[in-house]
Chains A and B, each alone.
Chain A
Amino acid sequence: MATTATPGSRTIFRRPASHTGFWSWITTADHKKIGIMYGYTAFTFFILGGLEALLLRIQLSQPDSAFLSAAEYNAMFTMHGTTMIFLFVMPVSAAFFNYLLPLMIGARDVAFPRMNAVSFWIFLFGGIFLYTSFLFGTTGPPAGGNLAEAASRLGSGPNGGWFGYAPNSGIRFSTGTVMDYWSIGLQILGLASLISSINFIVTVFNMRAKGMKLLRMPVFVWMTTVVAFLLLFSLPIIAVALFMITFDRSFGTLFFDPSMGGDPVLWQHFFWLFGHPEVYILILPAMGIVSEVLPTFSRKPLFGYPAVVFAGAAIGFMGFGVWAHHMFSSGVTPITQAAFGLSTMAIAIPTGIKIFNWIGTVWGGKIKLNTPMLFSIGFVGMFVIGGLSGVTHSIVPADWQQTDTYYIVAHFHYVLFGGAIFGLFSGLYYWFPKLTGRMYSEALGKLHFWVFFIGFNLTFGPMHWLGLNGMVRRTWVYAEETGLGPWNMAVTVGAFIIALGVLVFMANWSWSKRNGPIAPFDPWDARTLEWTMPSPTPEYNFAVNPVVTALDDFWHKKYTEDSDGRPVRRPEATALVAELEEVGLNPPAPIHLPNPSYYPFLVGLGMPMIGYGVIYRGAAWGIPLGIVGALIIVGSFIGWGVEPLEEPHEEHEDHSDEPGTDHGEDA
């Protein structure tokens, strides 16, 4: 059977052994369980970020509104952005990577299963740490500002915007602790992403099934790889910048303090040198999902597979060369403006190639308009709008006019909501049967799409002309004379329609998960390896290690082509699928899986303790708490080091032609 291991007694704790229930989730090293936990945690933060957005919209629905105070508004827009980017889109993409990457390349787990769990726990505790700012954080009176009164709890979140521009985020203008929560919280979250990016890169390059050459990998896997490299090279930059702001705030360095010779624009350079790759980190996973969904429901191969892959890689490279277009109005030289304007125009080319290829994929296909397909088509449409308004930012004079207006807000919501989030929802519906073993309700799914689509365009469409008419970002009131009221009311109505769509999705998900019809083995007649295994995915993934002979291998096993290039189902396809199902449920040989472990959880737990230690170093308990946290982390790694990935097991009969796990010992 799946795992035959005896709990060892060689380490500090007895080795956890449960495979169901609460402790199995806390101690798991299974990439699928970790993926599911990523998904649910990220969705919880999505709800929080969404509620923050609704509060913002209620405040802005009418001129001169007094629903939120300025301090509360600052905390809400900062945490809305920070949450949606770092606590929703990134981790929900990580959920897809975790769950699907090993399945799509034919592996039993990621390269470092326990490191994978560490990433999740660090992310979870980092997110919680960030949000405890609302409980314990203080804003403090800034020098010369108008926020002298103490902020309410709702106003005691980080308040410097998601990009935390210096010197506003420095100790001189943010005298409380909220920006410490922000800088240290993001540092912790970045560490989680860095660890998982290393894990995914090694998994992709080392764990592929036999015959799975690099150019036979699904596009989703390719996009995952590009994202992992983007994370790998951009996170250290933001880590340095966050260390610098933390040192500025806590230990008296002067990097960003202009009154002492520091350079606030340097923060912008560092931040956007990370921040622009970051936007591709957010969008590429959704592009990968769409590249899987469109071919499946058009019943055609992806048009120009190598072009899509190379365009993705090109975006990855060029993503590091466009950052200053965020700073055209920050006093960079004309040469810099011209160069970055040009590179910004150039990066639209690989994106355009992808759009072209997606349209080519759907063109002439036998299209099935179900929920994932609708979301994917919605993605392509909305992303084109967002992409085109993005190209307008490369025209420097126009960008000067647009900077810090709602035009920018409209642009990045079209790419990140109309793009990334539509793509991610497409993926959630598409892989729902594989995840749960049941089918979702198609009627509710389509309702969700149309509510989302209408609500989305009503929310973010009018922001284009609001912005061009002079409505500025990050300002909590506007005067009635500006005439911006009616459209703002429309935007607010749209935001509530989106919220309704989310409720429809939640209802569909929680009902279908228990009561939906049992999902067949391969419900979409799909193309990639994950559909060759039972639904829901068994703990061991593949009963027999797959061997791949082509791109879209599963499809070619089921279909051949007639003389016009139309797919014709092979006569033996039905028998093949039945056999795969039979074998998938009854592995012919024992399979060893990584054992659960307590240590990843403990490593995650130690991180916020260090954070609190830094923030409250003045209190008697602050530094001891930080030291305890550090000791927990070091101790966990030592315990981890002496705990083997798999406990020794009794020898089975020879199964040398069906090898078990593919892991090193101390992953």
Chain B
Amino acid sequence: MADIAHADGHHDVHESTGIDNRKLGMWVFLSSEFMFFGALISNYMLFKGRDYSAFVPAGQSVILPRELYDIPFTSVSSFVLLMSSLTMVLAHDALVSGDQNRTRIWLAATGLLGSVFIGGQVFEFTEFVQQGMTLSTNPAASAFFVLTGFHGAHVFLGILMLLSLYGISRRQGGLTESQGLNVELVGLYWHFVDIIWIVIFTIVYLIP
């Protein structure tokens, strides 16, 4: 159990579970993130079905997020995000087979697909605001923007991490073994963000 890797000098790894510290740390962090999005999603669920007609001036109608969704458009951007998980896997795969060049290409591709998704979200938000739904329209609208906004912020952070890996790899001409683990960690994070989006897309957009 504890005596796995005592062979080589001072860079031995001595992890009781056999999982690298950083990887275990990422899993632990992601379990916390599930609670974060769980709270945001239940918040939206609570507010989405309520009746807000008493809170708008007489004669005006309540604008709810679900009336404005453009399902085909969001489906396409969801597809783009899901494909970015594939390119993330390809980046990791390329690194495992030692092809630094291909790793960089797939990292960049992942970041690009993520940016397309963010772009789609910016477009969608702008569109909604133009149709009269803002943060302050009603609590359901607030919950929608905050939930999807925090998801977008997570994607954005992921893109920053991907770009950093790409930059380091460019500068050094490749990633070292230890930095290589970072590709796996960013990958874990990225897949998590994608999975959360599948949940959000299903619950928020598809289920009426």
Contact = CB atoms under 8 A, between A and B. Distances in A.
A128 interface: no
Interface string B1-24: 111001111101111110111101
A631 interface: no
Contacts of B203: none
Nearest to A203: B21
A112 B136 contact: no
Contact of B164 (A199, A240, A261, A641): A641
Interface string A348-373: 00000000000000000000000000
Given A212-B16, A233-B32, A251-B135, 20 more contacts: A112-B21, A112-B25, A197-B32, A198-B28, A201-B24, A202-B28, A210-B3, A232-B28, A234-B35, A236-B38, A237-B39, A252-B135, A253-B142, A254-B136, A255-B139, A270-B39, A659-B9, A659-B14, A664-B181, A666-B178
Contact of A253 (B2, B136, B179): B136
A333 interface: no
Nearest to A254: B139
A656 B135 contact: no
Contact of A255 (B10, B24, B32, B143): B143
Interface residues of B, number: 54
Interface in A179-226: 194, 197-199, 201-202, 205-213
A665 interface: yes
A254 B182 CA distance: 39
Nearest to A667: B21
B138 A261 contact: yes
B36 A261 contact: no
Given A111-B25, A206-B16, A253-B146, A261 B160 contact: no
B196 to A, nearest CB: 13
Contacts of B142: 247, 253-255
B120 to A, nearest CB: 22
Interface in A615-652: 634, 638, 641-642, 651
Contacts of B35: 232-234, 236-237
Given A198-B28, A210-B3, A654-B9, A664 B20 contact: yes
B77 to A, nearest CB: 24
Q: Assign chain A's interface to a size class.
A: 35 or more
Contact of B136 (A252, A259, A270, A592): A252
Contact of A236 (B13, B20, B36): B36
Interface of B: 1-3, 6-10, 12-17, 19-22, 24-25, 28-29, 31-33, 35-36, 38-40, 43, 46-47, 50, 52, 54-55, 134-136, 138-139, 142-143, 145-146, 150, 160, 164, 168, 178-179, 181-182
Contacts, number: 152
Given A253-B142, A254-B139, A663 B9 contact: no
Contacts of A266: 43, 46
Given A253-B136, A634-B160, A205 B16 contact: yes
Contacts of A603: none
Contact of A660 (B9, B25, B46, B138): B9
Contacts of B168: 641-642
Contacts of B54: 261
A207 B16 CA distance: 6
A261 B138 CA distance: 7
A583 interface: no
Contacts of B160: 634
A279 interface: no
A262 interface: yes
Interface of A: 111-112, 194, 197-199, 201-202, 205-213, 232-237, 239-241, 243-244, 247, 251-255, 257, 259-263, 266, 270, 590, 592, 634, 638, 641-642, 651, 654-657, 659-667
A119 B208 CA distance: 42
A667 B24 CA distance: 12
A444 B150 CA distance: 53
21 contacts: A111-B21, A112-B22, A197-B32, A199-B25, A232-B31, A232-B32, A236-B32, A240-B36, A240-B40, A247-B135, A253-B135, A254-B136, A261-B52, A262-B139, A266-B43, A592-B10, A634-B160, A656-B8, A659-B10, A662-B14, A666-B179
